[in-house]
Structure 1
Amino acid sequence: MQLWGGIDEVPADFGPSAVTIGKFDGVHLGHRSVLAQLRSLATDSGLQPVVVTFDRHPFALLRPDDCPDALVSNAQRAELLADSEVVAALVLEFNRELSELPPLAFAERILHDALDTRLVLVGSDFRYGYRGEGRIEALREHGQMFGFEVALLDDVRIGGTRVSSTQIRQHLSAGDVRSAATLLGRYPRVRSTVIPGDAIGREIGFPTANLDPAIEGFLPADGVYAAWAWIDGVRYGAAVSIGNNPTFDGIPARRTEAHLLDASVDAYGKAIELDFVEYIRPMVKFDGLDSLAAAISADVGRIRALLAAET
């Protein structure tokens, strides 16, 4: 997949294309349905399937207090889009200039001039241009002016629930990683680097890989989880805790640490990815190291059995 960081990076001879436009936060099952339809329509018409997206949520600029946390980083999103087999993704910097671009100028500069668009695939609630003034009727009018058709998408629903990034964030914020996975079509994943910790886990027989707080992806609610950990391309079962460890009167900063099951890996400085499988229990204040070790041992036994059923 070609990844362009602005219209200046699009080759002058690119196109003609079929385009879909959106934030694609999480690249969930709804997005994947859109991308599958885009590929199909593009193939039928001899067009190049392209995603147009943004480097941040528009609220980050326009309404920062209301801006939701992203489900995935830009790098993670690019990897997920590449897996969808689109030819290219155009990532537009959502700055003041773009936010004030009139709908007609958006259609002309980005869809017509840059991408030679012949088909635009969007939902019925799609809005574009300054203050979201451009809607489907305007998009169709601009299509007549610039030579592209407009096709509308239906919502994707699972069990009557519309698949949306907002719904997934709500599940993760409640610790319900299983429901989030159902809407994502994959396990919720975060990525970071392993850093040194305080060695308490090693002291009680459960050494952990401590994640740098600069984590890519959306961390679920505090608690203990069954997870898969990926290091150097190898998958390990893991017991993951998220929180500030109340047993020790609360560590000031929220931390994420993973105990690898039945494995000893020198992971310091290495990239680690965690796929969250199941919520196990909340963070609990124990009355000492022995009680904490006994609880972790019980967690590990339960997680080992749960993960065995996942394979």
Structure 2
Amino acid sequence: MQIWRQPSDIPADLAGSVVTIGVFDGVHKGHRAVITEAVRQARERDLPCIVLTFNPHPATVHNPGLTVPLVISVEDRMRRLEALNVDATYLQHYTLDYSTATAREFVVDQILGQLKARAVVVGEDARFGSGNEGDVETLSDLADELGFEATVVRDLRDDSGRRWSSTWLREILDRGDVKAASKVLGRLHRLRGEVVHGHKRGRELGFPTANLQASSAGVVPKDGVYAGWLVRTVPGMKAVENLPAAISIGTNPQFNGEGRTVEAHVLGRADLDLYGEKVAIDLVSYLRPMVTFNSVEELLERMDEDLRQTALALGVPVSGRVDPEQVTAGTDVRRQTP
């Protein structure tokens, strides 16, 4: 999939396309229904399918004091779009100046002018143009006037009638309900980041962890302990490992920690040296809240149970603590891979 960031990136010989428009944060099932229809129409017409998406999130540009954490990183958004057989994505840098275009100007100048759209596919809630003045009726009127085809894909909803949306996903994740989030996403919720050095307390207790800074990982669910998978590309190889992990999210109140972190302990592994690697963490289920115990011994007992519950949730053999003397991360011992 090609990624365009400015008009000069668009091939000069682009003669037509099918375009879909949206932030598509999370690329959840509702988004995929729209994108899949755009891809279908593009193949039917023998044209490229182009996604016009935006970064940063428009809401944060119009409301600088508002924090809208992305459900997934922009990098993962690009990967998800590529997996849906999108031919090109125009990643529009969203600014206040860009947002001043009227709905008509947006369609005429960018959708038809730059992207050469012969057909446009959107969801029911599509809005565009200055002040979000344009909606699906506006798009239909412009299609009739300017000679392109407009298709509106009906929203997907849950059993209660609520529309699947990125806003709803954030609410679900704020509750820590990663199982419900996976139903909306159609896959496990993923965090991504670089493994950084921590305080190494887990290593000393027999639970070495790969630490990600929560602020850079994406939408991080509420504090607690989770079962999931640490996903990494083996250095020097194209192979991907999915490693069962007990995951702690929070400030580590047992040791008066400051700042939220995401820490993943790979079950039964003392030989992993992940420092500096970019890894993903897929969250499967919420196990328990983050609490402070009366003693380290009580904490260890609870962590042993966390390992057991994690193994049961993931359907893998139960593993206990590792020998701290066998932990190789950050040492001169050559990294071992399975």
TM-score above 0.5: yes
Deviation at 1:35, TM superposition (A): 1.3
Residues 111-133 of structure 1, C-alpha deviation per residue, up to 9 Å, x if partnerless? 11111111111123322111111
What's the counterpart of residue 146 of structure 1?
146
Deviation at 1:45, TM superposition (A): 2.5
What's the counterpart of residue 259 of structure 1?
265
RMSD between superposed Cα atoms in Å: 1.7
3-state SS, counterpart of residue 301 of structure 1:
helix
CA distance in 1, matches of 2:136, 2:155: 16
Deviation at 1:96, TM superposition (A): 1.8
Output the amino acid matched with 1:150. Answer: A
Deviation at 1:136, TM superposition (A): 2.7
Q: 2:282 aligns with which of 275, 278, 285?
A: 275
What's the counterpart of residue 234 of structure 1?
241
What's the counterpart of residue 121 of structure 2?
121
CA distance in 2, matches of 1:17, 1:67: 34
8 A contact 2:16–2:116 mirrored in 1: yes
What's the counterpart of residue 308 of structure 1?
315
Runs of 4+ off more than 6 Å = none
Deviation at 1:159, TM superposition (A): 2.9
Q: Tell me, which stretches of 5 or more residues in structure 2 are unaligned? A: 234-239, 317-338
What's the counterpart of residue 300 of structure 2?
293
Deviation at 1:307, TM superposition (A): 0.3
Alignment of 1:1-311 (within 5 A): 1-160=1-160, 161-232=162-233, 233-248=240-255, 250-264=256-270, 265-308=272-315
Q: Judging changes above 3 Å, is the alpha-carbon distance between structure 1 residues 216 and 254 closer, same or farther for their aligned structure 2 residues?
A: closer
| More displaced stretch, 195-204 vs 78-87 | 195-204
Deviation at 1:209, TM superposition (A): 1.3
Deviation at 1:259, TM superposition (A): 0.7
Deviation at 1:308, TM superposition (A): 0.7
8 A contact 1:190–1:217 mirrored in 2: yes
The percent identity for this pair of structures is: 37
CA distance in 1, matches of 2:245, 2:232: 12
3-state SS, counterpart of residue 297 of structure 1:
helix
Deviation at 1:147, TM superposition (A): 2.5
Residues 118-174 of structure 1, C-alpha deviation per residue, up to 9 Å, x if partnerless? 111112332211111122333233323433111111011233442111111111110
8 A contact 1:7–1:110 mirrored in 2: no
TM-score (norm 1): 0.94
Q: Judging changes above 3 Å, is the alpha-carbon distance between structure 1 residues 291 and 76 closer, same or farther for their aligned structure 2 residues?
A: same
8 A contact 2:26–2:185 mirrored in 1: yes
CA distance in 1, matches of 2:164, 2:171: 12
Q: Tell me, which stretches of 5 or more residues in structure 1 are unaligned? A: none
Deviation at 1:213, TM superposition (A): 4.2
TM-score (norm 2): 0.87
CA distance in 2, matches of 1:5, 1:299: 45
Output the amino acid matched with 1:255. Answer: T
Q: Judging changes above 3 Å, is the alpha-carbon distance between structure 1 residues 143 and 8 closer, same or farther for their aligned structure 2 residues?
A: farther
3-state SS, counterpart of residue 162 of structure 1:
coil
Residues 206-257 of structure 1, C-alpha deviation per residue, up to 9 Å, x if partnerless? 1111113452321111000001001222111000101111112x21111111
CA distance in 2, matches of 1:138, 1:176: 37
Output the amino acid matched with 2:100. Answer: E
Output the amino acid matched with 1:283. Answer: M
CA distance in 1, matches of 2:173, 2:213: 20
CA distance in 1, matches of 2:101, 2:283: 40
3-state SS, counterpart of residue 276 of structure 1:
strand
3-state SS, counterpart of residue 12 of structure 1:
coil
| More displaced stretch, 273-282 vs 28-37 | 28-37
8 A contact 2:73–2:192 mirrored in 1: no
Deviation at 1:76, TM superposition (A): 1.2
Residues 2-26 of structure 1, C-alpha deviation per residue, up to 9 Å, x if partnerless? 1101233111221411111111000
3-state SS, counterpart of residue 65 of structure 1:
coil
CA distance in 1, matches of 2:96, 2:315: 50
3-state SS, counterpart of residue 101 of structure 2:
coil
3-state SS, counterpart of residue 259 of structure 2:
coil
CA distance in 2, matches of 1:124, 1:189: 27
Output the amino acid matched with 1:252. Answer: E
